[in-house]
Amino acid sequence: MKIYTGSGDRGKTSLFSGERVPKDNERIEAYGDLDELNSVIGALIAALPRDWPDLHQDLQKIQSDLFHIGAWLATSPGAPAAESLAPLDLDGAAALERLIDRLDAALPPLTGFILPGGGPPAAWAHVARTVCRRAERRVVRLSADPLPPASAAQLSRAIVYLNRLSDCLFVLARHINRRQGIEDSLWKP
Amino acid sequence: MEAVSPTSSDPEAGNLFNTRIIARRRLSSKTVELALRKPPGFAFAPGQRVRLKLGPAARDYSIASAPADEAIRLCIREVEGGFLSPQLAGAPESAALTFTGPHGYFTFKASPRPAVFVATGTGVAPFHSMAASGVSGFTLLHGVEQAEDLYYLDFLQSRAAAYVACLSGTSPAPVAHHAGRVTGYIENHLPRRACDFYLCGRQDMIRDVTLLIDEGFQGSLVYSEAFY
C-alpha cells in the first residue's frame, strides 16, 4: 500500500466532511496540533519504564480520545458527515480528573513554579502539556465562530477535555519524576 | 474491491464475525462476486467495508449488497500474484471465513448538490450497495479497461440519472460509452458546478480526479475510498 496519494500536492486537503480546504485552514491547524500532541504522548509512552503498565494504559486511552476529538475537528459544523461520528464522551474529562486525583494524592504540595524537565519521560510530559495548551487555543478559536448547537456542544467538550488534559500532564510529569526518584526543580527568581 | 486498510485513526475496531460462502457468481474473467452468509448481529451502512481474514492476511472489501439483503455480497478482483484474492476467488462454496466490520465512513450523505459517483473497476461495489438501498438520481462514471468489467450495468443504469461507462481499452462495448479514462470525461464533459463527489478506486484515479475537482468544481465536497 502506498502511503502517498498526491492529492494534496497543490496545498489543499480534504476535511472528513468532504470540503477541500487549504492546508493552513484553521481546522487543519487545530487537528494538526492534536496530532502533534498525540505523537508527543507516544514519545512519552516510549520513554516510560516498561514495567509501568498503569501509565501505559492511561496514556493510550488518552491517545484514543484525541483521535476521536480530531475527527470532530476535521468535520465542518452541521455537516452530514457528523452523523457518522459518535458524540464526544462526557466522561472523558471526568476520567482525567480521576487520574489527576490518583496521581496527585501521593505528591508533595506545590510550593512554587517548577522548571519543566527531570527525567526523559517527565520532560516529554511537559512538552505534551505545552502542545496540549496550543491545541486548546486552536479549538477555542474555532469555537468563536457561530456554530449549530450540536457542533458547539462537541467543541465545548473538546475544550474541557484539553484543559483537563493539560493539567493532567503537569501532574503526570511530577508523578513520573517522583516515581523515578527525581525531585522537582523549583524556579528561583 | 480490495481497499487500503484504514490507518490507526480509524476509531472503529469492528467486531469479529464467522461466516461461510453461500454462492459464487463470475462477474468477468477476472472478477467474482462472493455471497457470504450474513451473521446474526452484523449490521452495516451502504458504502462500508468488511475486513476478510484468511490466515495471516487481511484485506478490506466494500460491500456491494444492501443492508436489507440476506447475503453480504463482495466483488473480488483476482490480483495476479496476490495472496488473498486468488484464494477467495477459488474458495469452495460453504468455505468458512472470518471478518471484522463494518469499517469506514464512505456512506451516502443527503445533500442539495448533485451526487457524482466515480469508480474504477470493483470500486463500483459501494455505489451498487447505495443504489440497492434506494439512492438514485446520481451521475455514475465507471472506469474500466475492458467492457466485461462493467459490473451491475443494467441495475446501475436504471438507478442513475446519468451512467457513463469510461473504457480505456479497445474492447467492443455493449453500451454507449466514453472512450478513455474517467478523468478525461470529467475534464471535458462533466458540467462545471458544485457537486458531492464520491470517489472509489485506484489511488491514482482519486488523486487525479481530486485535482480536477480543485481546479474546476468550486464548492464541491469530496469523499473518497482508495484501494490498491
How far B12 CA lies from chain A's nearest CA (Å)?
10
Domain segments of chain B as ranges: 15-103, 115-227
Instruction: Check CB contact under 8 Å for A71 and B210.
Output: no
Instruction: Check CB contact under 8 Å for A20 and B107.
Output: no
Q: Does residue A23 have a pLDDT over 90? A: yes
Q: Show the cell assigned to B132.
A: 440497492
pLDDT of residue B88: 87
Q: Tell me whether B110 touches chain A (CB under 8 Å).
A: yes
Q: How many CB atoms lie within 10 A of CB A139?
A: 25
CA distances from B34 to B24, B91, B119, B158 (A): 5, 10, 20, 23
Q: Tell me whether B113 touches chain A (CB under 8 Å).
A: no
Single pTM value for the model: 0.88
Domain segments of chain A as ranges: 18-75+89-179
How far B146 CA lies from chain A's nearest CA (Å)?
25
Q: Which residues contact B85 (CB under 8 A, 6 or more apart)?
A: B2, B59, B76, B77, B78, B79
CA A66/CA B9 separation, integer angstroms: 10
User: Chain A residue closest to B215 (CA)?
Assistant: A10
Domain A18-75+89-179 belongs to what topology? Hypothetical Protein Ta1238; Chain: A; (1.20.1200)
| ipTM score for this prediction | 0.83
CA A39/CA A42 separation, integer angstroms: 5
pLDDT of residue B44: 96
CA B110/CA B116 separation, integer angstroms: 12
Using an 8 Å CB-CB cutoff, list chain A residues near B221: 17-19
Torsion angle, CA of B200/B141/B126/B97, rounded to 10 degrees?
-80
pLDDT of residue B209: 97
Q: Show the cell assigned to B69.
A: 439483503
Using an 8 Å CB-CB cutoff, list chain A residues near B105: 16, 81, 84
Q: Does residue A156 have a pLDDT over 50? A: yes
Q: Count of CB contacts below 8 A, A vs B?
A: 56
How far B92 CA lies from chain A's nearest CA (Å)?
28
User: Chain B residue closest to A71 (CA)?
Assistant: B9
Q: For residues A86-108, give the mean pLDDT.
A: 94
Instruction: Check CB contact under 8 Å for A71 and B11.
Output: yes
Substitution target in B210, B217, B223 with the highest count of A β-carbons within 10 Å is B210
Q: Is residue A154 classed as helix, strand or coil in its secondary structure?
A: helix
Q: What dotted CATH number matches B115-227?
A: 3.40.50.80
Q: A56: left (phi > 0), else alpha (psi -120 to 50), else beta? A: alpha
pLDDT of residue A2: 63
pLDDT of residue A6: 80
pLDDT of residue B87: 87
User: Chain B residue closest to A83 (CA)?
Assistant: B109
Per the prediction, chain A carries an average pLDDT of 94
Q: Tell me whether B203 touches chain A (CB under 8 Å).
A: yes
pLDDT of residue B55: 82
How far B222 CA lies from chain A's nearest CA (Å)?
5
pLDDT of residue A38: 98
User: Chain B residue closest to A68 (CA)?
Assistant: B11
How far A34 CA lies from chain B's nearest CA (Å)?
12
CA geometry: angle at B84 spanning B78 and B22, to 5°? Answer: 80
pLDDT tens sequence for chain B (228 residues): 444 333 333 445 568 999 999 999 999 999 999 999 999 999 999 999 999 998 888 999 999 999 999 999 999 999 888 888 888 888 888 899 999 999 999 999 999 999 999 999 999 999 999 999 999 999 999 999 999 999 999 999 999 999 999 999 887 777 888 999 999 999 999 999 999 999 999 999 999 999 999 999 999 999 999 986
Q: Tell me whether B223 touches chain A (CB under 8 Å).
A: yes
Q: Tell me whether B7 touches chain A (CB under 8 Å).
A: no
pLDDT of residue B33: 95
Q: Which CATH architecture has domain B15-103?
A: Beta Barrel (2.40)
Substitution target in B49, B79, B203, B220 with the highest count of A β-carbons within 10 Å is B203
pLDDT of residue B172: 79
Q: For residues A40-57, give the mean pLDDT.
A: 97
CA B103/CA B91 separation, integer angstroms: 24
pLDDT of residue B228: 60
CB A68 within 8 A of CB B11: yes
